Amino acid sequence: VGPRGTPIKYKFSVTGVRLALYGFGNVGRALARMLLATRAPFNVTALTTKSHGAVVDANGIDLDTILAGTDLPLRALPPVAVLPADVLVEVTPLDPLTGEPALGHIRDALRAGMHVVTANKGPIARAYRELDGLATKHDRMVRFEATLADCLPVFTLRRSALPLAKISAIRGIVSSTNNHILSAAAAGIPFEDALADAQRLGIAEADPRNDLEGHDAAAKATILANVLMDADLVPEDVSREPIDERAATAARAAAENGGRVRPLIEITRRDGKVVASFGPRRLSPMDPLFAVDDFSMGLVFETDLAGRVVVQLHDPHVDQVAYAILTDLLEISGTMPRP
């Protein structure tokens, strides 16, 4: 990586765009598999895992070997700024409330002239304006499609299909675990069983309160409000009602009458101020979010120029998180300096 502001020369013929992959859990491993499967023009030159060490190799790391589970030579990675990489891919586990240590990694990378792609909500929900400013200052990109709802088109949609449009309101389902629980309740499956199911699949976290109490949804609503509606919220500004036994009972009752209860975020402008909420809401079959069932997610955008636009992602897996990262990487690589 060259010093700030100077153009960087890459040897695309050999290495492609060089990635530092921070985090090698479910998402990092899914991304590694997808990079191999798609032969996308990227080359991982630094990689760190939670408990199996780290590795740096400017000539590129053999992902097949790493996926096979070998322990890595380094105890910890050198500082971000000295890595031989063009893009930091930040998918480390983190404290969802503070966004650390991911936030620090992202700051370091942007300051060192690297682009950043992250799947971590915390840093974007807490510090979008700062990071966006830092990226602009260093003429680099920070991309975070995967933070919202796997590869549901949100920020890519905004940039490509909704330019110049003003978004006046957003409604949506952005929490897989909660939607699974309420969908299961509609089918008569007990709350605890549905939650255990989501945990077994690795979708709900070990401590499910982050989902059930709406902290996860509040972070996502904050990102949507700040990035797409020019608001300046923190997650604590989002009013929350929990997804609990009572909501599950309501979901069961609604289903018996042809309705569905969905875990909804709602963001709107009231008296010039953006307000956001999360909670269980009863929907009728003519609601565009009615059929967004189980682990599926979806958003409804109210806009001036484009009217009402809806996007949905049905039955996503961890591969769809990896794919969101890959789309961000492809966008960045299209804007990378050519050799």
> Which residues bind to its own copies, rule: CB under 8 A?
34, 38, 40, 151-153, 156-157, 159-165, 258, 285-288, 290-293, 298, 305-317, 319-320, 323, 326-327, 330-331
Return the number of the residue (95 or 315) whose C-beta is nearest its own copies: 315
Return the number of the residue (269 or 317) whose C-beta is nearest its own copies: 317
The distance of closest approach from Cβ of residue 127 to its own copies in the complex, given in angstroms and rounded to an integer, is 25
The distance of closest approach from Cβ of residue 266 to its own copies in the complex, given in angstroms and rounded to an integer, is 17
- What is the C-alpha to C-alpha distance for residues 263 and 247, in angstroms, rounded to an integer? 9
Contact (Cβ atoms closer than 8 angstroms) between residue 89 and residue 21: yes
- What is the C-alpha to C-alpha distance for residues 129 and 137, in angstroms, rounded to an integer? 12
φ and ψ at residue 137, rounded to 5 degrees:
-60, -40
Return the number of the residue (109 or 251) whose C-beta is nearest its own copies: 251
Neighbours of 34 (CB within 10 A): 16
- What is the C-alpha to C-alpha distance for residues 267 and 152, in angstroms, rounded to an integer? 18
The distance of closest approach from Cβ of residue 41 to its own copies in the complex, given in angstroms and rounded to an integer, is 10
DSSP state of 317: -
The distance of closest approach from Cβ of residue 327 to its own copies in the complex, given in angstroms and rounded to an integer, is 6
DSSP state of 74: B
Return the number of the residue (53 or 288) whose C-beta is nearest its own copies: 288
Contact (Cβ atoms closer than 8 angstroms) between residue 336 and residue 18: no
Q: Report the SS3 class of residue 173.
A: strand
Return the number of the residue (162 or 336) whose C-beta is nearest its own copies: 162
- What is the C-alpha to C-alpha distance for residues 119 and 21, in angstroms, rounded to an integer? 12
- What is the C-alpha to C-alpha distance for residues 327 and 276, in angstroms, rounded to an integer? 28
The distance of closest approach from Cβ of residue 320 to its own copies in the complex, given in angstroms and rounded to an integer, is 5
The distance of closest approach from Cβ of residue 317 to its own copies in the complex, given in angstroms and rounded to an integer, is 7
Return the number of the residue (38 or 70) whose C-beta is nearest its own copies: 38
167 bridge partner residues = 303
Return the number of the residue (163 or 339) whose C-beta is nearest its own copies: 163
Closest CA to 209 of 201, 199, 222: 199
Q: Phi/psi zone of residue 111: left (φ > 0), alpha (ψ -120 to 50 degrees), beta?
A: alpha
Q: What DSSP string runs through 195-220?
A: HHHHHHTT-S-SSTHHHHTTHHHHHH
The distance of closest approach from Cβ of residue 253 to its own copies in the complex, given in angstroms and rounded to an integer, is 17
The distance of closest approach from Cβ of residue 40 to its own copies in the complex, given in angstroms and rounded to an integer, is 7
For the chain, first and last CA: distance in Å? 14
Return the number of the residue (244 or 287) whose C-beta is nearest its own copies: 287
